[in-house]
Amino acid sequence: MIRTRSPFRRTAVLAAASAAALVLAACGGHGDTGDSSAAHGGHPSDTASPAASAAASPGQHNAADVAFAEGMVPHHRQAVEMADLAPGRARSAEVKKLAADIKKAQDPEIEKLSGWLTSWGEDVPAAGAMDHSLHGGASGGMMTMQEMDQLEKASGKAFDTAFLEMMIKHHDGAVAMARTEKAEGASPDAKAMADAIVTSQSAEIAQMHKLLLGTS
């Protein structure tokens, strides 16, 4: 009896072991699939989220950022237009250098501001399409057409005085716009530029007040 049952038991044990192996294999497969899907659906998405956030971070912006860029592009363009008059009209070497510094600082900022607007899906203000007389409020400090004509016709000491007076007003407007951006904007890059504008143009305003005293 023992000899006849032994193979049976052996067969039953083997069958049970095989079945158990199949169950374990099946469970292992599901576990791997679960891990795999977790790896593909959970962990990569977790690791991809910061990467996606980092990639999206430069594009983070709000309406205040758009208003800042849209207003500062024509504002800077006019400052550069004013600065371009200095080499042939200014008498003071300090005024000429200041104008060159303004152009050197603001030309690259115009490019950055325009690039941000494009990346945000906004239109870049058309070059030469601005009406100076319309930019007295939100864009603060913009010169009127009459003021620009006056500056273009001036030369020597008269130009130096007019340039400094107008550029002080112009810078005051830019600083006000930049402070609004710092308080209300969401773009880290735009807010960093605004901070730089406040610092640099405030220093230039102080310098221009001193130069203005020298022209009087």
Tens of pLDDT along 205-214? 999 999 999 8
What pLDDT digit, counting tens, does each position of 51-74 carry?
A: 333 333 446 999 999 999 999 999
Q: Where are the alpha helices (DSSP H) in the chain?
A: 2-37, 43-56, 63-89, 93-119, 145-153, 156-184, 188-215
Contact 97/162 with Cβ under 8 angstroms? no
Query: Average pLDDT for residues 173-193, to the nearest whole number?
Result: 98
Give whole-number Cα distances, 205 to 76, 169, 170, 181, 201, in Å: 15, 9, 10, 20, 6
Contact 93/145 with Cβ under 8 angstroms? no
Which range (2-6, 67-71, 146-150, 173-177) has the least confidence?
Answer: 2-6
